[in-house]
Amino acid sequence: MLRITSQSSIFALNSSFSSTLLKPHTRNFISLKEISLCNSISTKKRDLCLVSASKMDHFQNSSHPQGIDSFFRSVLANMEKVYLSRNPTAKSILELVNSSDDEDQICYDHFAFRTFGVDGYGIDSMAQIFLEYGFTPRGELRFPAKKLKAVWFAPPTHHSIIESDDNGSGVNGPLPRIFISELLVDELSPKAQEIVRKYTKLSGNGNKHAALASALGSLTWETPIYSEFQELAKESEYAAWTLVNGYALNHLTISTHRLKSHLRDITNLNKFIEESGFKLNSEGSVLKVSPDGLLQQSSTVADTSTFHFADGVTESVPRSYIEFAERLVLPQYKNIPNSEIKEHHRRDGFEVGNADKIFESTSKDQLTRKTTVK
C-alpha cells in the first residue's frame, strides 16, 4: 500500500478557485435552518462551516471555469475507477444494466464513504473537497447500536455542473449526493481505541489528503497487522473495514427512477440482479423501505479480495458493494405529468432504518450467507 506523507495539499488549485474555498470555523452542526449561513459537521472544534449566505449564493449561482469542473469530475472518476477495480460485482451489474436497454443512462444517487471519528479523520476530512465544490450539509443521522453517525451533503445547483449534465451518465451526469459516516471511536473499548489511534497517528497529516487517498486507492496510514484487524472486527466490523480500506469509496448507488426501461422500478431491478446470479443484502428484507414509503433501497453483498497484512498474513477482506435507490414522487406533486417530474419533486434525504440495514452489506453474516438464487 502507498503511504501518503506529503505535508502540502496536492489539491491546491489556481488562485481564481482558491478564493472560493470554504474556510473552517468552530461552531456546532445542529440547525438545518441556518444551512445557508454556516453549518459545521462536528460537535468538536474540528468543525467545517459553510461561507456566509452572500458568498454561497454567489458560489452556487456562478459558473466555474470549465477546467475546474473537469478536475472535480476527474477526481470522482478516479474514485469510481478504484472502486470498480476492487469490486467485480459492481462492474458487472453496471454493465448489465447498461446493456439491458439502449436508452438507459445510469445516474448515481449518492457516493458513500466511511471514516474514523478521531484525530481529525472523521466526516470533516472527507467532506472538505465536496464543501469546496459547493455541496451543502443537509442532515445528520445517528446509529447508536453501531456507534456511528453520518452526514449527507446535497450537490450544488449552479448551472455549470448540474443542469447542463442532465443527459450525461455516471460521473459525467448529475452530481450525486454524498453520504459520509464516521465511527465514534471514543465509544469503543480501550483496546479498540488504542488500535485505531495507533494508525491515525502513524498517518501524520494523512487526513488532509482524504480525497486523494480515495482517488488513488491508498491508505494514509501504515499497512495494518492481521491480529489488530481481527481485534477490531470482534467489536466493530465497520472499524475493521475502514482499517483496511481507508477512504476508498464504500459504495455508489444507481438512481433507479432515472432509468428509462422497466428496471426503473426497483423491484424489477432486484429481480433482474438476482436472476443474473448476484446476491443481495437480505438484512431486514431485500427491499428497504422508509416509513413514508417514498425511499426504497437495496444493495448487493460486498465483494472480497485478498489483503497482504504487514505481518506477512494474507487474508480475504470485505471490499465494497453497489446500492440501488428509487425515490418516489412527493404527495404534493402527484398530479404533475410524469414527463415533467424532476428530481426536486421526489423524496430527498436518507432514512436511518434503511441505512442501518444497508451498512450490513459488508458484514460477515451477509458475506457468508448462501445465495438463494438457483
Q: Starting at the edge strand that comes first in sequence, how are the strands of the sheet with 321-327 ordered?
A: 136-143, 148-154, 177-183, 108-116, 251-255, 321-327, 295-299, 288-289
Q: Name the DSSP letter for residue 4.
A: P
Q: Could you tell me the pLDDT band of residue 167, with boundaries at 50, 70 and 90? A: low
Cα–Cα distance, 297 to 10 (Å, whole number): 36
Count, residues in the chain: 374
Write out pLDDT tens, residues 221-253.
Answer: 999 999 999 999 999 999 999 999 999 999 999
pLDDT at residue 370 in the model: 60
Write out pLDDT tens, residues 276-333.
Answer: 999 999 999 999 999 999 999 999 999 999 999 999 999 999 999 999 999 999 999 9
Query: Is pLDDT of 12 > 80?
Result: no
pLDDT at residue 68 in the model: 60
pTM flag (> 0.85): no
pLDDT at residue 24 in the model: 34
What percentage of the chain reaches a pLDDT higher than 90?
73
Q: Could you tell me the pLDDT band of residue 15, with boundaries at 50, 70 and 90? A: very low
Q: What stretch of H or E contains 141? A: strand 136-143
Grid coordinates in use for 185? Answer: 471511536
37-44 contacts: CB < 8 A, separation 24 or more? 39/136, 39/137, 41/123, 41/124, 41/127, 41/137, 41/140, 41/151, 42/122, 42/123, 42/124
Candidates 359, 78, 77, 72; CA nearest to 217 is: 78
Cα–Cα distance, 21 to 212 (Å, whole number): 17
